[in-house]
Chains A and B, each alone.
Chain A
Amino acid sequence: MQILVNGESREFKADTTVADLLRELDVKPDRVAVEVNREILDKGAFAQRSLREGDRIEIISFIGGGQPADQYRDVS
């Protein structure tokens, strides 16, 4: 089945759970959050939540940031 993960269409077996998907993508679950069709999952639900054809998944984590990186302008 096709699933949209972070904006990319990927093929997964039927009955893939969120935990399976993270394993297949080599993403450790400890420091990420997962949204399925805009619903944020508890980490405890990763192993139970089965995915369906056409689901839209977002996997987020933390990156370096204080402020957006592309806005720097020298005004001096």
Chain B
Amino acid sequence: MNNDQLIIAGREFKSRLWVGTGKYKDFVETKKAIEASGADVVTVAVRRVNITDRSKENLLDYLDPKKYTILPNTAGCYTVEDAVRYARLARAAGVSDLVKLEVIGDERTLFPDTAGLIEAAKILIKEGFVVLPYTNDDPIVAKKLVDIGCPAVMPLAAPIGSGLGIRNPYNLKIILETVKVPIIVDAGVGTASDAALAMELGADAVLMNTAIAGAQDPIMMAEAMRYAVDAGRLAFKAGRIPRKLYATASSPIEGML
């Protein structure tokens, strides 16, 4: 998988598997799972520091920002104003000017509010952020996000944390054909085959959290996802055979008795 680097806004990434850091048992498990996944981009959330109990450790004590690209998200933001505020705070904290922009539209589905997303993205791009938007599997919205300056688009495969897999491969395929920036399938992966399928469709990377952190053995699942993403990528590049309804013999007829 050498010489197959993912490049977004001039930054090179070795792994095409990006991972979230939520829902793990503890920071040790987080660190081990991320190491097993081979990911070099990890997403983090922006939250208040606990000022009452200072004994609590910091996630970044376990994930060296020199080793990983820390990708702050605006998870939990339901308005343009909040998402922009959280993004600005994340940048001020000093890890990077990247942001995984989320403007959530609804608590039950956690589907993106795509109108709000476009509005927030415009504001942040004007301020010099590298905006990676978490969006619906909607090709028109994906195109609008690219037109306003997003260097990659992150469409969902299924609702966050649902594990339902790639629910609409055809829309993802259309997005892949519509926009010419990297597409990172984000959210909805349940198991390794889902990640492989996303990559086989031609996605440039897959981002997941729950599928790893919520597995019975998160570290083993992280490793499985690493292979799945690599396998899917190779299969995509290798070019699959066309689907046919009837059999085509692999062994020659010639020489039969």
Contacts and interface: CB of A to CB of B under 8 A. Distances in A.
Contacts of B70: 62
Contact of A62 (B95, B208, B213, B214): B95
Given A66-B207, A72-B210, A60 B160 contact: no
Contacts of B19: 66
Interface residues of A, number: 35
B45 interface: yes
* Most chain A CB atoms below 10 A, which of B27, B207, B208, B209: B209
A62 B209 contact: no
A68 B76 contact: yes
B92 A43 contact: yes
Size category of the B interface is: 35 or more
Contacts of B93: 31-33, 60-62
Contacts of A25: 51, 54
Majority secondary structure, A binding face: mixed
Interface in A39-76: 40-43, 58-69, 71-73, 75
B90 A33 contact: yes
B49 A66 contact: no
A6 B48 contact: yes
B38 interface: no
B58 A31 contact: yes
Contact of B72 (A38, A58, A62): A62
B46 to A, nearest CB: 5
A75 B30 CA distance: 25
Interface in A1-55: 5-8, 10, 25-27, 30-35, 38, 40-43
10 contacts: A6-B51, A40-B88, A41-B92, A61-B60, A62-B44, A65-B21, A65-B47, A66-B75, A68-B22, A73-B162
Query: Closest 7 CB pairs between A and B?
Result: A66-B20, A65-B45, A66-B209, A33-B92, A62-B44, A64-B21, A33-B93
